[in-house]
Amino acid sequence: MKKFITLMFAAGTLLLASCCTTPCVTRWEYKVAVPPQLPGGTNSLSDTHSLSLKDMQNRMQESDRKWRDITQSFLNDLGKDGWVLINEDEGTFYFKRPIKQVHSD
């Protein structure tokens, strides 16, 4: 047990020393993106003059659900590519991800 602890201490010290002597600066790339719009444009609720209040509410809920699904799919696709959401402002999304470094050793 004593040998194991000594070995782990030595390995940890070597690992820590190598990290401190190797430049570990992360470089980032950034992306600004807006999710796709709902199919049918933004006027999909414009023909509601002949609908009842209940039908209008149902249509609005369906439109909201579709918007959430499209936005979620958009965000998941960017996440799969390594993009991390850092901010959102009025429907504009800001992402970053580490630049993949190619070592020339």
Give a yes or no: residue 42 inside a domain: yes
Task: Tell me whether residue 38 is in a domain.
Answer: yes
Query: How deeply is 59 buried, as exposed, middle or buried, from its count of CB atoms within 10 A (0-12, 13-18, 19+)?
Result: middle
In a domain, 16, yes or no: no
pLDDT score, position 102: 67
The C-alpha angle with vertex 74 and arms to 72 and 78, in degrees rounded to 5, equals 115
Helix, strand and coil percent figures for the chain, each rounded to 5: 45, 20, 35
Report yes or no on 93 lying in a domain. yes
Measured from the Cβ of residue 79, the count of other Cβ atoms closer than 10 Å reads: 13
pLDDT, residue 22, reads 56
Please compute the mean of the pLDDT values over residues 11-19 and round it to a whole number. Answer: 60
* pLDDT attached to residue 38: 76
Average pLDDT over every residue of 98-105 = 74
pLDDT in tens, 29-88: 999 999 998 776 544 555 656 788 888 999 999 999 999 999 999 999 999 999 999 999
Provide the residue range defining the domain that includes 42: 25-98
